[in-house]
Structure 1
Amino acid sequence: MISGRAERCLEGRTALVTGASRGIGRAVAGALGAAGANVVITARDTDGVTEAVAGLRKSGAHAACCAGSVGDPEHLGRCTGLAMREFGRLDILVNNAATNAPYGPLMEADPGEWRHAFTVNVEAALRLAQLAWRAWMREHGGAVVNVCTEGTHGVGPNVGAYGTSKAALLHLTQQLAGELAPSVRVNAVSPGLVRTEMARFVWEGAERRIAEGLPLGRIGEPDDVARAVLWLVSDEAAWVTGADLLVDGGTRVRAAAGTGPYAVHDQLGHVRPD
C-alpha cells in the first residue's frame, strides 16, 4: 500500500476504478484513497471487492463498491450512478479491468472470446468515459487513465488478442484526449510484467530469469503502476494528455535482444492454466 504521505493531492475528488478487487486495480484505488479521493471500486468478484472496500475504509478512505462485470452496460451505469449518489461527483476514471482470453495463437482464437476481449478491454472503457462525461466531466472536467500494456509496442507469443485489444484501447485513449480537451485529460499507463494473479502464469517459476533480463533488475509490483496513475490524474500532470506512460522496468530497452518476459516465458515452455 502506498503511504498516506501523498499530500492529499486529490482531496475532495471522486474516482472510479475498475478491476479493483486485487492487483493493479486495488493498488490504484489505495493510492487514490491515500491521496484524499473518494473511491468507488468495481470487480466481478463480490467477496474480493467487498474485502477491498473494507480495506480502503480501514485506511481512512471514503469508499464504496459495486460488484459486476464491465462487460455489462447496465453494471457500468450502476457504477457511475453510485459515485454520483454517494459522493456527488466523478472526477477520475481508471479503466483497469481486462481479460486476456482468448490466449493462444490467433489462428485458433474463438470468435466469441475475441469479441468478448474487445467488449471488456475497449468498449467498457469507452462506455464508462461516456457515462462519466455526461454525469460530471462535461461541466466540471476530470481525468481518465486507461491501463494498457507494454505489449502494445511489440508482439509476443499467445497474447495476440490481448495485445490487439489493448492497442485499440491506446488509440481510443489518444482519440478521446483530442475530443475531450481541454477540460478532460485522457492518458494511458502501459505496464510491463507485474506481479499479479492475471500474469502469474508468466512470472511464476521464471521470475529470477526474467528479472535478470530487465535493466532495473526486477519485475513490477502493483504499486509501481499505482504511483504512475496517481501522478497522471493529479494536477502535477496538468499539461499531460494523450500520453502513454511506460512502466516496465526497462522492458523496451531489452526487447530487441529477445530477453523480455514473454520471450523467457515462451523459451521455458510455460502453459497458461485454464
Structure 2
Amino acid sequence: MNSPILITGASRRVGLELAISLAQAGHTIVSASRSISPHSAHPNIVQFQADLQQEEDRLALIEHLTSNYDGLRAIIHNASLWLDDGLENLNTMFKLHVEAPYHLNLALGEQLAKLEKSDIIHICDETSSRGSKSHIAYAATKAALQNMVLSFAEKYAPAIRVNAILPGLLILKENSDEEYRRRTLKKALLEFEPGAQPLIEAVSYLLNTQYSTGSSVVINGGRHLKKGVTRD
C-alpha cells in the first residue's frame, strides 16, 4: 500500500534530520513546510509547500494526500514556532501548535484508518507539562497540543495510536555564544547537546510499539530533576 508518513515542519533542524532518517529507512515521507529545502533532496521525500497556519493551505495538503495515496502510515506534528510572549504571537502559535494539528487529525483520520496500524505523534515540549515563566504562550499552546493526544487517542483507538514526545533542548540556537551554551546545557543532568538522535529514536519506538497510546515520551536529559538551576 502506498501510505506515506506526513511530517510537518521538516525543512530544517530536527524535523529535517527526522525526515531524512525515516526516508533512509524506506518510508515515503511527505514533508509539509512553509519553504522548500534543498537539503531534503531524497527520492523518498516529497516536499509540499504549505503555511499550516492558513486553512486553505491545510486543505490543499489534505487534498494532495487523499488524492495521491492509498492511506497514511503516520502524521508527525513537528511544525513549531518559539516566539516571545504577546497576544499576536500567542495567536500565531495557537494556529500552528493547536489549530493545524486538530484540523489535520480530523480530516485525515480515514486515511490513517485504512492501515491495520497507524500513528499520530505530537511533538510537544518539556515545558508543556511544567510551564515556562519566560515563554508562557509557547508553553500553553504546547500544553494544548499535548492534551489533544488524550482526546484523539480515545477517539481513534484501537487502530490509530496517538502519542506525544516531550523534548528538551536538542540542538542549540544557531550562532550561540559560549556563555549561552554553558548556561543552557547546565539546565539538564546530562550536560551535552544531543542533536536530533533522541527524537529519531523516540519516533522509531512509537512507530513500532504495539501497546502505547495516549502516552508521552520525555527526552529532556533529566532537566526536570536538576536542582539549583534557574528555570526558563
Calculate the TM-score normalised by the size of structure 1. Answer: 0.77
Q: Which residue in 1 is equivalent to 2:79?
A: 97
- CA–CA distance in 1 between the matches of 2:58 and 2:150? 22
Backbone CA RMSD of aligned residues: 2.3
User: Which of 259, 266, 274 is matched with 2:229 structurally?
Assistant: 259
- CA–CA distance in 2 between the matches of 1:158 and 1:201? 21
How far does residue 200 in structure 1 lie from its aligned partner after superposition? 4.7
Relative to structure 1, is the Cα distance of residues 202 and 119 closer, same or farther in structure 2, using a 3 angstrom cutoff?
Answer: farther
Q: Which residue in 2 is equivalent to 1:269?
A: none
1:73 matched to 2:55? The reply is yes
May I ask how many residue pairs the two structures share in their alignment? 231
- Structure 1 contact 31–230 (Cα < 8 Å) conserved: no
User: Which of 183, 198, 211 is matched with 2:185 structurally?
Assistant: 211
Q: Which residue in 2 is equivalent to 1:53?
A: 40
Identity of aligned residues (%): 23
- CA–CA distance in 1 between the matches of 2:213 and 2:77? 16
Give unpaired runs (5+ residues) of structure 1. 1-10, 264-274
1:38 matched to 2:8? The reply is no
Q: What per-residue deviation string (whole Å, max 9, x for no partner) do you get for residues 149-201 of structure 1? A: 001122323210000000011100111111110010000001101215xx558
- The residue type equivalent to 1:41 in the other structure is S
Question: Which of the pair is proportionally richer in helix?
Answer: 1
Give unpaired runs (5+ residues) of structure 2. none
Relative to structure 1, is the Cα distance of residues 149 and 250 closer, same or farther in structure 2, using a 3 angstrom cutoff?
Answer: same
How far does residue 80 in structure 1 lie from its aligned partner after superposition? 3.3
How far does residue 258 in structure 1 lie from its aligned partner after superposition? 4.0
Relative to structure 1, is the Cα distance of residues 178 and 203 closer, same or farther in structure 2, using a 3 angstrom cutoff?
Answer: farther
- CA–CA distance in 2 between the matches of 1:163 and 1:83? 30
User: Which of 248, 252, 258 is matched with 2:220 structurally?
Assistant: 248
How far does residue 212 in structure 1 lie from its aligned partner after superposition? 3.6
How far does residue 227 in structure 1 lie from its aligned partner after superposition? 1.7
Calculate the TM-score normalised by the size of structure 2. Answer: 0.89
- Structure 1 contact 150–191 (Cα < 8 Å) conserved: yes
- Structure 1 contact 195–222 (Cα < 8 Å) conserved: yes
Q: Which residue in 1 is equivalent to 2:132?
A: 156
Question: Tell me, what secondary structure is at the counterpart of 1:117?
Answer: helix
Q: What per-residue deviation string (whole Å, max 9, x for no partner) do you get for residues 233-253 of structure 1? A: 22xx11001111001111111
Question: Tell me, what secondary structure is at the counterpart of 1:169?
Answer: helix
- CA–CA distance in 2 between the matches of 1:89 and 1:204? 47
How far does residue 139 in structure 1 lie from its aligned partner after superposition? 3.5
Q: Which residue in 1 is equivalent to 2:199?
A: 225
Residues 84-233 of structure 1: pairs in structure 2 closer than 5 A: 84-101=66-83, 103-104=84-85, 109-110=86-87, 112-134=88-110, 136-140=111-115, 141-195=117-171, 199-200=173-174, 205-233=179-207
- The residue type equivalent to 1:89 in the other structure is G
- CA–CA distance in 2 between the matches of 1:43 and 1:201? 23
- Structure 2 contact 3–70 (Cα < 8 Å) conserved: no
How far does residue 113 in structure 1 lie from its aligned partner after superposition? 2.7
Question: Tell me, what secondary structure is at the counterpart of 2:49?
Answer: coil
- CA–CA distance in 1 between the matches of 2:154 and 2:139? 23
- CA–CA distance in 2 between the matches of 1:193 and 1:132? 30
How far does residue 96 in structure 1 lie from its aligned partner after superposition? 0.7
- Structure 1 contact 17–39 (Cα < 8 Å) conserved: yes
Question: Tell me, what secondary structure is at the counterpart of 1:66?
Answer: strand
How far does residue 12 in structure 1 lie from its aligned partner after superposition? 6.1
- CA–CA distance in 1 between the matches of 2:146 and 2:174? 24
How far does residue 220 in structure 1 lie from its aligned partner after superposition? 3.2
- CA–CA distance in 1 between the matches of 2:133 and 2:54? 29
